[in-house]
Amino acid sequence: MDIKLFGIRHHGPGSSRSLIKGLNAFLPDVILVEGAPELDDLMSYVADKDLIPPVAALIYNPKDLKQAVYYPFTAFSPEWQSFLFAHKNNIPVVNMDLPQALCFGLHRVPEKLRLLEGNNEKGSIKSQEMAKDPLGFIARLAGYEDSERWWEVMFEQGTANVDIFDVITDMMSALREEVGAQGQAMNLLREAYMRKMLRKAVKNGYKRIAVVCGAWHCPALSNLKKYSVKVDNELVKGIPRIRTKSTWIAWTYERIATSSGYGAGVVSPAWYELLFENKEEATINWMARVSQLFKNEEIDTSSAHAIEAVRLAETLATLRGLQLPGIGELSEAVVTIFSGGYEAQLELISKKLIVGDKMGEVPASIPVIPLQEDIDVNIKKLKFSKYKSPDAKWLKASANRPRGGLDLRKEHDLKQSQFLHRLSLLDIDFGTEDKASGRELSTKNEYWKMQWKPDFSIQIIEAGMWGNTTEQAAVNWVVDKASKAEELTDLTNLLQKLIHADLPAALSKLVIKLRSLAALTQDINHLMNALPALVHINRYGDVRNTEINMVNELMHEMIPRICISLSTACTALDEPAERIMYNNILTSNRALSLLNDLNYLDFWTQTLLLIAGNEKTGGLIRGTCTRISLDNESLNVDDVAIMMQFALSSAVKTRVASEWIEGFLHGSGLLLIHNPVLWKIVDDWVSELKNEDFQELLPILRKTFSSFAEAERKKMLQIVKDGHMKTEAVFFAQTDPRRTEMILPVLKLIMKN
């Protein structure tokens, strides 16, 4: 019986080359790989031509999806090459690591965890430092900043060498002897199980056993006689086994990189791929890709740049005693030759050529849950397939329309929008809507940035509990959220999402819950918070061909309640409550203006006038209501001048007066600039303030005036410098009702579109 240990670096191209050579020389009759036994069910797919790395094995607890792990593989991962070698030579593979079925059950046996933690004895200060990062400690002794760079230079860049594995085992043995069991609690359990599987392979009669595992574990597997069978069995015994499921999913180089936070990641997956495929020409190929990338970005470059950069990178490697340039030497050469010493362009190549933007593929033959199947069908039907990549792209972008955009008047675009909104409800953000420049500016257009993420696989499995199709799952999700909602705003926001996703099956249930909650709501603020969403649905629902009669009925019940109760609700408020009411009045005013129902606008106007003249209401709210009444012409400038004189009179508390000014001037100072009478009233009030009052009110006044546009502030400053306001003739044009009626149909058509 012969056992050969191959201690590798996960995702190491040099390790893979040496491993392939070693396996061919050793010709094992079984290969034990450091992988969870759940991978055994996935081995039959490894040779499928449509399973293209990078991919990951997803192992999860179907009853608790928070318990899920990924086992990523690239084409240059030693474990992946072990699988391919075994398949090609018809050799059985045994995944020997601790099953995830047991890992998921560990939390149920805290005494087992305590036993493992008890083995974490502390050593010397030096050994404690080594225990935190053993390979990093060795790398620093050798003069390297991190273990990744040191390992790459020592083991990944060299010529494939079978003997290197014995050297690695000896080095790790010395390290582990110094470190002891510090920080190794979980590894003790895993290695006990690995030895158990290795003993089983021996018992099964295999004569030539290859063990492919992380280099750190080699000392724990090199001498089975050193470890007690009974102790190993006791360590593993008693852990509950959780039922698991597993599947292959597409993965990305971005998730393989250390920058993603992946513990076993590598700095440059894209560079490692070139090293594995053709080490001798890796530098040339990489620089050629840099040159092509710069050309695509219309950055001045030529073949001469690539040639000189290759020479510089190789020279730097020689000066530093390296067999090949690493990503550090390559980056320095790019900065010097291509970028003229500026590092800004490194950001351009980082994602494409250092980390890499590659995404794997998974064959359709691999079983998936029904929801995943429905999503895949819709992606194909709605022509989203080209956006299923790790790169963020604007949906329907073109040279003339770099941000693309959907036109909701077109049936296909509308279907695309509805599908993306349904996925968003399920927290699967395949598309992220650019709201700032989308629906707010145009009701018929939406702008989406598309990006597929590997994490969606587990999110789709999680969402599968709601239904087998995207529509069914989204409906059930909405109904569940509605049943648990306790605030009107939660329901109205949910209602908007439902409208966008076109889920009529959930509409009636949601509106019934909304109407019931609105009827029970006594707090006027809750009703006002809910109003803008309902008005938005009323105003723009027809763009999506959505039946919104039930929504309109609810809205028409709420508006009279708001108007009737608002005046009383605005009295006797403390400062925080007044500020909340102030914001709600502004948003409600915008909503009702958008609704443009003359009956409700008249009711609203009378309510605001009543509040503006009520001395029991705070100055901020009265000032706001006065300003809105002036803007909608229910008050004229003369009326406002009288109200302002009262509001800023000496009989009124200074702070209340300043709040009135803040509310009156919210959003714009043009009113003062173009009305000398109002300007003089405010100017006189400020001039007559006592020094101590002025100091107290300065922050409030500064906040009010700083919200004005820069041009407005400059104009006000000039008026103050001049010491007076230049009066200009103001012309009031009288409108001709007959001529106005002629253009109204055209204006309505324009506004609708």
For residue 130, what pLDDT is reported?
66
> Are residue 113 and residue 23 in the same domain, yes or no?
yes
Looking at 466, 500, 526, which one is the last position of a domain? 466
> Are residue 352 and residue 208 in the same domain, yes or no?
no
Q: Which residues contact 506 (CB under 8 A, 6 or more apart)?
A: 474, 475, 478, 479, 482, 498
Q: Give 595's pLDDT tier (boundaries 50, 70, 90).
A: confident
- Token pair belonging to 399: 């040279």
- Token pair belonging to 732: 């009031």
| Contact predicate 237/229, CB 8 Å | no
What sign for the dihedral angle of Cα 686, 692, 696, 699? Answer: positive
- Residue 592 belongs to a domain: no
User: Is the confidence at residue 483, as pLDDT, over 50?
Assistant: yes
For residue 110, what pLDDT is reported?
81
- Residue 37 belongs to a domain: yes
Strand, coil or helix: 210: strand
> Are residue 615 and residue 661 in the same domain, yes or no?
yes
> Are residue 235 and residue 286 in the same domain, yes or no?
no
For residue 437, what pLDDT is reported?
47
Range in 64-73, 356-365, 632-641, 713-722 the model is least confident about = 713-722
- Residue 229 belongs to a domain: yes
As a whole-number percent, the residues of the chain with pLDDT over 70 amount to: 89
CA distance 494 to 509: 12
The tens digit of pLDDT for each residue in 6-28 reads 999 899 898 999 999 999 999 99
Q: Which residues contact 601 (CB under 8 A, 6 or more apart)?
A: 592, 593, 595, 632
| Contact predicate 526/581, CB 8 Å | no
Nearest to 403 by CA among 439, 462, 448, 350: 448
Q: How many CB atoms lie within 10 A of CB 334?
A: 27
Structural domain boundaries enclosing 205: 2-119+185-251
CA distance 487 to 518: 9
Taking each helix axis as running N to C, give the angle between helix 549-569 and helix 524-540, from 0 to 180 degrees, rounded to the nearest 10.
Answer: 150
Average pLDDT over every residue of 122-128: 55
For residue 750, what pLDDT is reported?
66
The tens digit of pLDDT for each residue in 743-753 reads 777 766 666 55
For residue 123, what pLDDT is reported?
52
Q: Give 543's pLDDT tier (boundaries 50, 70, 90).
A: very low
Q: What is the CA radius of gyration of the chain?
A: 35
- Residue 59 belongs to a domain: yes
User: Is the confidence at residue 733, as pLDDT, over 50?
Assistant: no
Angle (CA) 194 196 202, round 5°: 105
CA distance 624 to 633: 14
For residue 301, what pLDDT is reported?
85
For residue 122, what pLDDT is reported?
54
CA distance 28 to 52: 26
Residue 692 CA to chain centroid, in angstroms? 50
* β-bridge partners, 594: none
Average pLDDT over every residue of 238-252: 92
User: Is the confidence at residue 730, as pLDDT, over 50?
Assistant: no
Nearest to 585 by CA among 553, 622, 550: 622
| Contact predicate 243/101, CB 8 Å | yes
For residue 54, what pLDDT is reported?
94
The tens digit of pLDDT for each residue in 341-369 reads 777 777 778 878 888 889 999 998 888 88
The tens digit of pLDDT for each residue in 209-223 reads 999 999 999 999 998
The tens digit of pLDDT for each residue in 299-311 reads 888 889 999 999 9
- Residue 569 belongs to a domain: no
For residue 732, what pLDDT is reported?
41
> Are residue 392 and residue 280 in the same domain, yes or no?
no
The residue whose two tokens read 């109407």 is 515
User: Is the confidence at residue 180, as pLDDT, over 80?
Assistant: no
Q: How many CB atoms lie within 10 A of CB 278?
A: 11
* Domain count for the chain: 4
User: Is the confidence at residue 335, as pLDDT, over 50?
Assistant: yes
The tens digit of pLDDT for each residue in 441-471 reads 456 789 999 999 988 988 998 898 788 899 9
> Are residue 608 and residue 697 in the same domain, yes or no?
yes
> Are residue 611 and residue 743 in the same domain, yes or no?
yes
Element (H, E) at 529: helix 524-540
> Are residue 376 and residue 349 in the same domain, yes or no?
no
> Are residue 198 and residue 321 in the same domain, yes or no?
no
- Residue 515 belongs to a domain: no
The type of residue at 173 is: S
- Residue 629 belongs to a domain: yes
For residue 128, what pLDDT is reported?
62
User: Is the confidence at residue 174, as pLDDT, over 90?
Assistant: no
The tens digit of pLDDT for each residue in 662-703 reads 888 776 666 666 667 677 777 777 777 777 777 767 776 777
Cα–Cα distances in angstroms (integers) from residue 173 to residues 163, 183, 415, 439, in the given order = 16, 16, 61, 63
User: Is the confidence at residue 630, as pLDDT, over 70?
Assistant: yes
Q: Is the peptide bond before 54 cis (omega within 30 degrees of 0)?
A: yes
CA distance 142 to 155: 14
Residue with more model confidence, 682 or 728: 682
> Are residue 462 and residue 608 in the same domain, yes or no?
no
- Token pair belonging to 501: 């996703």
Angle (CA) 35 37 39, round 5°: 75
Angle (CA) 660 666 669, round 5°: 105
Looking at 466, 498, 525, which one is the last position of a domain? 466
Query: Dihedrals φ, ψ of 451, to 5°?
Result: -165, 130
| Contact predicate 644/685, CB 8 Å | no
Residue with more model confidence, 164 or 750: 164
Cα–Cα distances in angstroms (integers) from residue 5 to residues 31, 190, 450, in the given order = 10, 17, 45
Looking at 220, 251, 282, which one is the last position of a domain? 251
Nearest to 310 by CA among 279, 277, 332, 342: 332
The type of residue at 585 is: I
Q: How many CB atoms lie within 10 A of CB 743?
A: 9
- Residue 177 belongs to a domain: no
| Contact predicate 309/334, CB 8 Å | yes
Q: Which residues contact 128 (CB under 8 A, 6 or more apart)?
A: 122, 182
| Contact predicate 179/134, CB 8 Å | yes
The tens digit of pLDDT for each residue in 500-532 reads 898 888 887 888 888 888 877 778 888 888 888
> Are residue 110 and residue 242 in the same domain, yes or no?
yes
CA distance 209 to 207: 6
> Are residue 278 and residue 420 in the same domain, yes or no?
no
